[in-house]
A and B are shown apart, each in its own frame.
Chain A
Amino acid sequence: MRSFYRACLLYTNFAKIFEAMVYLTRVEHFNAAHKLFNPAWSAQKNEDVFGKCANENWHGHNYELYVTVKGQPDPETGFVLDVKKLSEIIKEQVLEKLDHLNLNVDVDFMEGKMCSTENLAIAIWEQLEQLLPGSVQLHCVKLYETPRIFVEYYGK
């Protein structure tokens, strides 16, 4: 009888693990130049709105990127997603296209967009979403522009 209860308990614990929604985050970083400049506006209006961020010759940041996916741990591996795989997707789709580059000039997926941290987070989401395996969902892209300024995007 005791072993029956033990089996039930074991089953319940396993069931909890398989139903559990777990959020997995990978942290990466890149350095880039940018400026905040709306080409439809005069230089004066750009300076009025964006201040020193509109400096013609660019400035730059150390960006810290937190990518969070959610899913249920795989029964065989215990992983939501192999974090090495997540790291490789971020490296290929984001870091190699942004790191040590100029966001306004060098990055195809930022073309025609204002290079604010908000827009960059949305663009990074779009870069990643299409390549993640179906077993997980992208939950959040959190992007630090400086240690004191960051944005979060949840996909809508």
Chain B
Amino acid sequence: MYMNKKVAVFRKEHFNAAHRLYNAKWDDATNFRIFGKCSNPHYHGHNYELEVKVTGEPQADTGFVMDMKVLSDLIQQYVVERFDHKNLNLDTVEFKHLNPTAENIAVVIYDLLRPHVNEKHDLQIRLYETPRNFVEYPV
């Protein structure tokens, strides 16, 4: 029996999406100066790899921190179905007025999942925009 010992469990999922980095308050030249080719008006895209970390104590009856199937279903329902094969700027309400940087996407994903994960558990999001660029929230 491993009570009172915190364990982190992780579920990996992925989605593909188009986006552009663009601040509507700035002119095109400023957007290009700050965001470079990421502000290309016709969009570009990524294979986003998502790692969701849930930390808590294993339950006495199951030995699970959280059933990973349940976690997978939650991520599918609240994140993947919303963002997969979409244009983040045009097809989602979350990024209508929010720049879809990896940082902002991670915070949005956290907010989408937090209400559905046991409040006794810590939740952390790691989001890979490319195999070489990734962000974490919260830290």
Contact = CB atoms under 8 A, between A and B. Distances in A.
Interface residues of B, number: 24
B91 interface: yes
A57 B91 contact: yes
B85 A55 contact: yes
Contacts of A146: 14, 16, 47
A148 to B, nearest CB: 9
Given A57-B90, A146-B47, A101 B42 contact: yes
Given A34-B45, A52-B85, A102-B44, A60 B16 contact: yes
Q: Output the residue of B16, B84, B91, B130 with the most chain A CB within 10 A.
A: B16
A60 B17 contact: yes
Contact of A59 (B17, B42, B131): B17
Interface of B: 14, 16-19, 36-38, 40, 42-47, 49, 84-87, 90-91, 130-131
26 contacts: A31-B44, A31-B130, A32-B44, A33-B42, A33-B43, A33-B87, A34-B45, A52-B84, A52-B85, A55-B87, A57-B86, A57-B91, A58-B45, A59-B16, A59-B17, A59-B18, A59-B45, A60-B46, A61-B45, A61-B47, A62-B46, A62-B47, A101-B40, A101-B44, A105-B42, A147-B47
